[in-house]
Amino acid sequence: MEKTLRFLVASTLMVSLSFVVNGCGKPTVSDTGEMAPVEQVEQVVPPVDKGYDEGMASKEEPLDSSLMSGANDFDEARTSRGMLPIYFDFDKSNIRSDQRPRIEKNAQYLKSNASARIKIEGNCDERGTNEYNMALGERRALNAKKYLENLGIDGNRILTTSYGEEKPLNYGHDELSWSQNRRDDFVISR
């Protein structure tokens, strides 16, 4: 919650500062009554990953490695405290190499808390049909479960579900928001 609040305050300040520095872009009228041309500003739009075949190599998105040190003492996504969510590439369900330390940290937590049971919640961004995203979210959750089982966690302690695009973490319509919505949350159910 605190992290989200800091993010919102910082974002608001940046947008406000942008208006102060750049102005609002309103056209000006010269002394002769003619409209002065408005300076064109190049809009920078991040590239959108159009997806590619499952068999091709995946382009991994970098993750702040400081988040991977130790168990989290803050809330991240909808994952229970002590565990970490994992994130996915667009239209992919395979566990990315940069996410393996995070899921391995979750396995360590489960080994240290032998009575804990979890639910892995698969999530997607808003692109794609509801049916497709439900199936993709399920594949993501099942792949995470299989990965934990391969690390020695009893599969009977793990439930999976898919929310598809129904529970976004961020409501923006940009790559940053979408990348945070493509995730598995690990929720302790005891």
- Choose between 50 and 136: higher pLDDT: 136
Which pTM does this prediction carry?
0.62
The pLDDT, as a whole number, for residue 147 is 98
Q: Report the alpha-carbon distance of residue 87 to residue 76 in Å, rounded.
A: 12
CA geometry: angle 53, 56, 59, nearest 5 deg: 100
Strand intervals (E) in the chain: 86-87, 118-123, 158-164, 183-188
**Residue span of the structural domain in which 106 resides:** 78-183
The pLDDT, as a whole number, for residue 56 is 35
**Residue 69 belongs to some domain of the structure:** no
150-188 pLDDT tens trace: 999 999 999 999 999 999 999 999 999 999 999 999 999
86-112 pLDDT tens trace: 999 999 999 999 999 999 999 999 999
Question: How many domains does the chain divide into?
Answer: 1
**Residue 149 belongs to some domain of the structure:** yes
Average pLDDT, the chain: 76
**Residue 82 belongs to some domain of the structure:** yes
**Residue 100 belongs to some domain of the structure:** yes
For residue 125, give the nearest of 75, 86, 84, 164 by alpha carbon.
Answer: 164
Q: Which pLDDT band holds residue 17 (cuts at 50, 70, 90)?
A: very low
Please list the alpha-helical segments (H only) found in the chain.
2-22, 100-112, 130-150, 175-181
120-129 pLDDT tens trace: 999 999 999 9
The pLDDT, as a whole number, for residue 13 is 52
Using a pLDDT cut of 70, give the percent of the chain over it: 61
- Side chain identity at 155, as an amino acid letter? G
Q: Report the alpha-carbon distance of residue 41 to residue 141 in Å, rounded.
A: 43
Domain of residue 110, CATH code: 3.30.1330.60
